[in-house]
């Protein structure tokens, strides 16, 4: 997904690299989270502990972060291409 974001525009820009970095960080955090859940569940089963095996917050949190990263990418690309009209000053240097 990160490589796709870099190649989304006409040429790679700083904004596309930031968006790709955000997707990469989200992917690494999701991997670490899923590994920790796996280890916890495996340990609980091995030790016959009564534990919660469902995940209430993980999928929701992951989707919110992915949607925010995707929105950030579209915001940067729309600002760079001039679709937002007057580009804010903090976005003008992208």
Is residue 59 packed enough to be buried (19+ CB in 10 Å), middle (13-18) or exposed (0-12)?
exposed
Spell out, as residue ranges, where the chain has pLDDT lower than 50: none
pLDDT at 6: 58
pLDDT at 39: 92
Model confidence, pTM: 0.63
Give the C-alpha separation, 68 to 64, whole Å: 6
């Amino acid at each position: 997904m990160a490589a796709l974001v870099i190649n989304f525009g006409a040429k790679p820009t700083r904004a596309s690299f930031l968006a790709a970095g955000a997707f990469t960080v989200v992917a690494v955090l999701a991997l670490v989270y899923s590994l920790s859940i796996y280890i916890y569940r495996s340990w609980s089963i091995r030790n016959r502990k009564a534990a919660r095996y469902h995940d209430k917050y993980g999928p929701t949190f992951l989707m919110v972060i992915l949607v925010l990263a995707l929105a950030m990418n579209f915001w940067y690309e729309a600002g760079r291409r001039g679709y937002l009209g007057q580009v804010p000053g903090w976005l003008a240097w992208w």
